[in-house]
């Protein structure tokens, strides 16, 4: 599997520390409140599990799945819900959990969309952030790590549906660019 990745960017041990820090911060900020963590599928599934286990406050979890309208690989920022929440978030404190914020278009739309359901509050927690790629100014309350403008895989993040299971975060190797299996 190693030949499909160029180099390890963030090791599992660093990710553990990152999740602990975010968990402590959120637990302290929401000390007297109940939250619903909303994981954005599929990328957030690994991070969501780690983050949730680092919270010391009561929380519920839910998932949403969205796909972006647009031509080819370009994100238009208009998202279509392909799997909606199971829960009613009206009057609840919600935290949207993302794997990575890139252009910010998807998240921006998701924030607006969930906002129409009148939750008591909305925050976003992302594992990784590529600030250099941002096209729209979207609020992200909790950021695990900022990373350079590289395409990363592992820890839930995929290339063509693969490598989500890698425990570390790695930079995608050049072998993949032509669609290597
Ligand atoms: P955007 O912020 O609307 O551009 O889209 C963010 C989404 O693009 C993320 O939730 C990921 O699914 C995907 N994405 C962005 N950058 C990467 C990356 O480096 N590796 C894997 N997926 C990525
Ligand atoms: Mg995603």
Q: Select from 7, 100, 157 the residue to mutate for testing ligand 1; criterion: most ligand atoms less than 8 Å from CB.
A: 100
Which tens digit of pLDDT belongs to each residue from 30-71?
998 999 999 999 999 999 999 999 999 999 999 999 987 655
The pLDDT value given to residue 176: 75
Identify the band that residue 180 occupies on the pLDDT scale cut at 50, 70 and 90.
very low
CA distances, 102 to each of 106, 115, 140 (Å) = 9, 21, 12
Cα of 101 to ligand 1 centre, how many Å?
Answer: 6
Using CA atoms, how far apart are residues 165 and 104, in angstroms rounded to an integer?
24
Which tens digit of pLDDT belongs to each residue from 96-119?
999 999 999 999 999 999 999 999
pTM of the model: 0.93
Strand, helix or coil at 131?
A: helix
102 labelled catalytic = yes
């Amino acid at each position: 599997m190693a030949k499909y990745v160029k180099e390890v960017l963030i090791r599992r041990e660093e990710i553990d520390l990152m999740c602990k820090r975010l968990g402590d911060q959120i637990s302290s900020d929401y000390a007297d409140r109940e939250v619903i963590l909303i994981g954005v599928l599929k990328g957030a599934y690994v991070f969501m599990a780690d983050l949730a286990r680092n919270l010391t406050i009561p929380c519920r979890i839910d998932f949403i799945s969205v796909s972006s309208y647009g031509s080819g690989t370009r994100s238009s920022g208009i998202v279509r819900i392909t799997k909606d929440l199971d829960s009613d978030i009206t009057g609840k404190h919600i935290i949207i959990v993302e794997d990575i914020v890139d252009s910010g278009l998807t998240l921006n739309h998701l924030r607006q969309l969930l906002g129409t359901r009148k939750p008591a509050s909305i925050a976003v927690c992302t594992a990784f952030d590529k600030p250099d790629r941002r096209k729209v100014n979207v609020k992200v309350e909790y950021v695990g790590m900022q990373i350079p403008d590289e395409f990363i895989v592992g820890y839930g993040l995929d290339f063509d549906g693969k490598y989500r299971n890698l425990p570390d975060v790695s930079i995608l190797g050049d072998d993949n660019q032509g669609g290597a299996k």
